Structure 1
Amino acid sequence: MPAPSKSSATPPPASRHQRRREKTRARLIDAARALVAERGVDAVGLSDITEAADLGVGTFYNYFQSRDEIVEAVAEESIESLGARMDLMTVDMPDAAEVFSSSLRHLVRHAISDPLWGWFVVRLGVAHPKLIDILGPRAARDLRKGVDSGRFTISDVEIATACVFGALLSTLHHVVSAPTQDGTDEVFAQAMLCMVGVVPDEARVVASRPLPPLPEVSTPQ
């Protein structure tokens, strides 16, 4: 009986050294996320991260080249994974308005259920290039889909994307700063739908539809 090919063989389990490295990296990532959420990017130094993680500066440089690099890694792990799940959730939705609404609602709900994540995104700021790189193209894509289908009335997609970005960050700041009522995600989505040209009554209907759960996305081993 022929031996299984390398491509179909089960990958070997991670070595003790590899597991230790992954745990150390996770400690640095968690420390950076918490500090940025608390203070903002500019107020967090490399030594702050290593102290919070209880690791040496030399250990830090085994994983990251700079403070900015670890902040980008935190953003990638915290936001890109959520974006990928929203992409999978909306891929077969025929209505561009529901695609737009569902994604916005999940972002608001995620900030409510995980305030540390919400504060991280808020403190990262609307001008941070990594945040723009991750969420900007997705917002622009959804808005163009709405325009192409005749669902949205937008004269400039780039300006509309900037407006959505700013409104999203302001709303996330609102929901992590004070207790929020149920349905805040629907109110926000309705306002954004009206902004892109959906009439208020229709926007209310779309924003109040049952929200599909986010599917899990498998990560490479």
Structure 2
Amino acid sequence: MATADVDKSLPRAEGRRQRRRELTRARLIDAARTLAAAHTAESIGITDITEAADVGTGTFYNYFSSRDEILEAVAEESMETVGAALDRVMTELGDPAEVFAGSLRHLVRHALTDPVWGWFIVRMGASHPKLLEILGPRARRDLHRGLEAGRFEIQDLDLAVTCTFGSLISAIRLALSDPAVPDRDQQFAVSMLCMVGVPPADARTVAARPLPEV
């Protein structure tokens, strides 16, 4: 083989190796997410994850140093993907109340279309550091915009953010437990809008608006 051919093959081989690494990491992440949706984090072992991903234990340690590290990665990827998608669409809306309500509705709907994700979020809980780190600033931003625009009446912003997360987790759990109930996302959005001072009639109107596609 000529030197030029060897030089060309090296980047291709490196690209294949990188893709294989990415696929293996994704399998481990998916396996851990599925297990975490069905069990408590404390009950999940590294062997459980590697068996579900169909890789060896040694392979696991090429990517993660511990069970806690992979679960942190699962939490970060699960929340950041959804949060970024909402940012791209919802923040373009002019009414802060619609942004707040629409984001909550999308999260409930996403849990119903992807129950593994939904149950994972429920098991994470409202106080999980990654949930607070990734979605916390976004919730605070949306609530603060509504406050500045005069759409919301909030006495304590920190408390409003905390209540939003606690209510969201409960709403997702309720929706997953009884998915046949229609318009659960709208009902939840109405309640949350009323919590931040939007009059009930206005809240029902805002929550019933068509959702932009995410």
> What is the TM-score normalised by the length of structure 1?
0.88
Q: After TM superposition, list the pairs within 5 Å mapping 1:36-115 onto structure 2.
A: 36-115=36-115
Partner of 1:7 in structure 2? Answer: none
Partner of 2:141 in structure 1? Answer: 141
Most deviating of 172-181 and 128-137: 172-181
C-alpha deviation, 1:48, in angstroms: 1.6
SS in 2 for 1:15: helix
Hey, which bits of structure 1, 4+ residues long, moved more than 4 A?
A: 11-14
**Identity across matched positions, percent:** 59
Most deviating of 109-118 and 48-57: 48-57
For residue 133 of structure 2, what is the amino acid of its counterpart? D
Deviations 1:168-200 (A, max 9, x none): 000111111223322111100000000000000
Q: How many residues align?
A: 204
Partner of 1:182 in structure 2? Answer: 182
C-alpha deviation, 1:42, in angstroms: 2.0
**2:98/2:206 contact within 8 Å kept:** yes
Partner of 1:208 in structure 2? Answer: 208
Partner of 2:122 in structure 1? Answer: 122
Partner of 2:18 in structure 1? Answer: 18
Q: Which runs of 5+ in 2 are unaligned?
A: 1-10
C-alpha deviation, 1:91, in angstroms: 2.4
Partner of 2:7 in structure 1? Answer: none
C-alpha deviation, 1:54, in angstroms: 2.0
For residue 172 of structure 1, what is the amino acid of its counterpart? I
For residue 126 of structure 1, what is the amino acid of its counterpart? A
Q: After TM superposition, list the pairs within 5 Å mapping 1:29-40 onto structure 2.
A: 29-40=29-40
> What is the TM-score normalised by the length of structure 2?
0.91
SS in 2 for 1:131: helix
- Output the CA distance in 2 between the equivalents of 1:125 and 1:177: 16
- Output the CA distance in 2 between the equivalents of 1:105 and 1:65: 36
Q: Which structure has greater helix proportion?
A: 2
- Output the CA distance in 2 between the equivalents of 1:54 and 1:96: 46
C-alpha deviation, 1:43, in angstroms: 1.8
Partner of 2:167 in structure 1? Answer: 167
